[in-house]
Amino acid sequence: MPDAVPDLPDALADLAGPADFPEARAMWAADAASAALGMHVDHLGAGTARVSMLVRPDMVNGHELCHGGLIASLADSAFALACNSHGPVTVAAGFTVDFLRPGRLGQRLHADAREVSSRGRSGVYDVTVRADHPVDGEVVAEFRGRSRTLADRRA
């Protein structure tokens, strides 16, 4: 575990404009779980987000590979930012994840989330997790999240 929690609002300081996506920014600033895992927001846009995480020694399982639950957590955090970029408080209704290759100690994993479909209060998002490079890296996992916007709630 890191000794200090990073200054989360600063992680978003250079992304978009200072007034863009205030609800998603507020959600991220209060996200202690993502902070504890050392996650960093690399991109935030309307219905999109990229979050990265370095695989540390305390994140590997008995096979010395990144624990699958932590890969799913990385994807879930990118999913949360993407679906909350529209404003109203939006939560996960469920997700599936397919692990295609292991994440390894010392690798930086990149989770790239994008909105696939949105209708009413429901949405579908895909997240691709890659190792080492956000575009050209090997695919580690594919995640599909289903979101639900809460009625009349803002962050």
pLDDT, tens only, 7-55: 444 455 555 555 688 889 899 999 999 999 999 999 999 999 999 999 9
Q: Considering the chain, what is the average pLDDT of its residues?
A: 89
Q: Where are the domains of the chain?
A: 19-154
User: What's the burial of 80, exposed, middle or buried (CB within 10 Å: 0-12/13-18/19+)?
Assistant: buried
Q: What pLDDT shows up at residue 13?
A: 52
Per CATH, is 19-154 categorized as 3.40.800.10? Answer: no
pLDDT of residue 126: 99
Instruction: Quick: pLDDT tens for 57-70.
Output: 999 999 999 999 99
pLDDT of 21 reads 87
What are the strands, taking DSSP E only, across the chain?
A: 40-45, 48-54, 88-99, 108-119, 122-131, 139-154
Enumerate residues 6+ apart whose C-beta is below 8 A from 27: 80, 81, 84, 89, 155
Average pLDDT over residues 123-149: 96
Higher pLDDT, 88 or 94: 94
Residue range 112-141: average pLDDT? 96
Q: If you average pLDDT over residues 73-82, what whole number do you get?
A: 98
